[in-house]
Chains A and B, each alone.
Chain A
């Protein structure tokens, strides 16, 4: 997993009916850039197309959180 994820644990009551699910959220890299500096490293054109951005620093990967057929 990449460093863009933050996990947290909501309050859990002894009377909660279901087993707990892990909780996490993404903080994409745009949250750390106020105004994009010039001269950032660039992907090759082919890689840029695949990533949806020319700049690796702006890339935020996202994979499905739940595997099909499993609980978590």
Chain B
């Protein structure tokens, strides 16, 4: 069960009318290394992972939903007042034809989100390595998004999100160490 706080984890300001940026930001919304994939990946893996690290996956998975809201807010602010002409100019005409100004879980190239983006192997080491890789890929994506805009307010929020990826990666690597050193009892079968 979750408790919802009706505020963003970190404030999102958009200071430039630049609908085209929404097209790129959507990568972190419905892309392979995006926040939806991250949240669903961790919250799904936690069932079969050893007890010691379930709480970590719950906490990080939950935080990813908070990040998803931030990205959604950016995309929404950038597109909510865009005319069909502006959407067209931004390369979002295909999106407009299908969704008007609604958000949709797809990547920057318009490919819909798919469960094949996330993995649960059942092997704790393999699953945590997938999580570490996902965090590093998301960090890289945030870097390219910071590169592609000159809106300092958007950059500010993206820098916050990028830093969270760095912290999460470390936490997952700590989880690997916990599972490596865990010698509670001998294997039984």
Contact = CB atoms under 8 A, between A and B. Distances in A.
State whether these chains interact.
yes
B187 A7 contact: yes
Nearest to B48: A10
B85 interface: no
A15 interface: no
A4 B51 CA distance: 19
A22 B51 CA distance: 14
A72 interface: yes
Contacts of A11: 51
Interface residues of A, number: 19
Interface in B9-52: 50-52
A5 B124 CA distance: 12
B122 to A, nearest CB: 9
B188 A6 contact: no
B180 to A, nearest CB: 5
A1 B51 contact: no
A55 to B, nearest CB: 19
Given A7-B184, A25-B50, 6 more contacts: A5-B186, A7-B185, A8-B184, A10-B50, A25-B179, A32-B180
